[in-house]
Structure 1
Amino acid sequence: MTAPKLLIMGPPGAGKGTQSSNIAEEYGVEHVTTGDALRSNKQMDLSDMDTEYDTPAAYMDAGDLVPDQVVNAIVEKALTEADGFVLDGYPRNPAQAKELEDMTDLDIVLAVSVGRDELLTRLTGRRVCDDCGTNYHAEYDQPEEDGVCDGCGGELIQREDDTREAAENRLDVYEENTEPVIERYRGHDGFVEIDGEQAPDAVWSDIEQAIDDHTA
């Protein structure tokens, strides 16, 4: 079987990262994320582009958003170098979706669907150890002692981007910018919507079935 080219989409808190890692391991493809691709290419020479800075690193150091044209170039480089991939976190808007269509032909587009109330529960319940970085959840993955990391005894904290206000904002941005991209892909021959409110094992089973159905 030729290594598949997959796109996985879904809102923050849908579990895309976990399932993308599963796909990469099971099917021997590269897990391509925008963040990892940027970090791997942070010294890319941008002198031939009409950009404010000469490297992606300069944008990161300044705390500025990396422009779409730079992100597009970095993602294209990562996909070109990969022998099959699962793309996670890109495209985030219709303009990026158009760029992706020009870069490559996708075999499968997975859209992980989770309701807003469940997403807010997942996002606002996340806790992280302030010392070792281990993740917990106030409802789904509690430590043995409330507020204390099982591994190192560090304090569990809520990150700023996991507060209710921040989570609501992240979902609003997703609905405005990225949901139209999913609608764009509904006509794709390999489009499959996955119920992301199931248990992770059930989500994975549905994803495996979708991939096998479209790569047989």
Structure 2
Amino acid sequence: MRKYVIMGVQGSGKGTQSELLARDLDLVHISVGDIFRWHVQKHTKLGAQVRRTMNAGDLVGDDLVESVVRDRLDQHDWNFGFIIDGFPRNGRQAEFFMESYDIDAVIHLELPDAEVRRRVLSRRLCPGCGMDYNLIADRPEQEGRCDICGTELIVREDDTPEALAARLKDYHEKTKPVLDIFRRKEVVHDIDARPAPEDVQQAIRKTLDLPAYKG
């Protein structure tokens, strides 16, 4: 059984790299951000709380995040292991996580802030079917329209320059110290997230001594 945490600033490719690993290794990909977005789209009570937080450019509180993560992992549908992204984001969450689970590796995707801004501010979302686009590398065939359902694409509420600046500041102040906690366990692997996704995936697998990525 493999249990991985993937960390990195927004736009570093955590979701893409997690999905590639999960698909080939039969891991369950747990994205805390996706769980919250599902609640927002379904207009649940939790979703309303998350929406208010996102609109303010803040991160969701520790108690709520820990509760969501605990509930998800308690489903025990990860027979071969899991890879979790979007958690932990600060020291308290890291301590909570290490007390509950033995982590095999922490994959840390490194990306300069300037590249983060370029990537994140180019993202678009289809509010109809949930399809993600990136105007740099994954443009829709018809500008501004989803290829799947034709709905007009929007900018995520948390992808504004102001919200991104707040998250970058929060990341550097709170999340990076988490790596120091994990480094004491000697489980952190630093990966350059600037190359193409396939090359990043190959680097991850080489570092973790996993079967090579076949594409």
Partner of 1:34: 32
> Given the alignment, which residue of 17, 23, 35 partners 1:25?
23
Which of 64, 68, 73 aligns to 2:62? It is 68
- Deviation at 1:71? 3.6
Matched to 1:16, the amino acid is: K
Name the SS of the counterpart of 1:209 in structure 2. Answer: helix
Mapped contact 1:38–1:71 kept (Cα < 8 A): no
The residue identity in structure 2 corresponding to 1:186 is R
1:39 Cα deviation after fit = 9.2
8 A Cα contact 1:76 1:103, kept in partner: no
Partner of residue 165, structure 1: 162
Whether the 8 Å CA contact 2:36–2:47 is kept in 1: the answer is: no
1:194 alignment counterpart: 191
3-state secondary structure, aligned to 1:111: strand
Of residues 4, 7, 13, the one that matches 1:6 is 4
Task: Give the conservation status (yes or no) of the 8 Å contact 2:145–2:151.
Answer: yes
Q: Distance in 1 between matches of 2:144 and 2:30?
A: 34
**1:206 positional shift:** 0.9
Structure 2's unaligned 5+ residue stretches are 39-43, 54-59, 211-215
Equivalent residue in structure 2 for 1:123, among 82, 100, 120:
120
Q: Which residue does 1:99 correspond to in 2?
A: 96
Instruction: Using the TM superposition, give the Cα deviation of residue 176 of structure 1 relative to its aligned residue in structure 2, in angstroms.
Output: 1.7
Q: Provide the TM-score with structure 1 as the length reference.
A: 0.77
Structure 2 vs 1, CA of residues 146 and 61 (structure 1 numbering), >3 Å: closer, same or farther? Answer: closer
C-alpha distance in structure 1 between counterparts of 2:173 and 2:33, whole Å = 21
How much has 1:61 moved relative to structure 2?
Answer: 4.6
Contact 1:72 1:96 in 2 (8 A): yes
Q: Which structure has the larger Rg over C-alpha atoms?
A: 1
1:134 maps to 2:128: no
Identity of aligned residues (%): 38
Letter in structure 2 aligned against 1:156: L
Q: Structure 2 counterpart of 1:169, which letter? A: A
Residue deviations 1:147-182, cap 9 Å, x none? 344444443332332121221112112212211101
Distance 2:141 2:45 in 1: 43
On the 8 A contact 2:179/2:188 being kept in 1, the answer is no
Of residues 173-182 and 31-40 in structure 1, the stretch that sits farther from structure 2 once superposed is: 31-40
User: Normalised by the size of structure 2, how large is the TM-score?
Assistant: 0.77
Indicate conservation of the 8 Å contact 2:37/2:47, yes or no: no
Give the number of aligned pairs.
196
Distance 1:190 1:39, change over 3 A: same
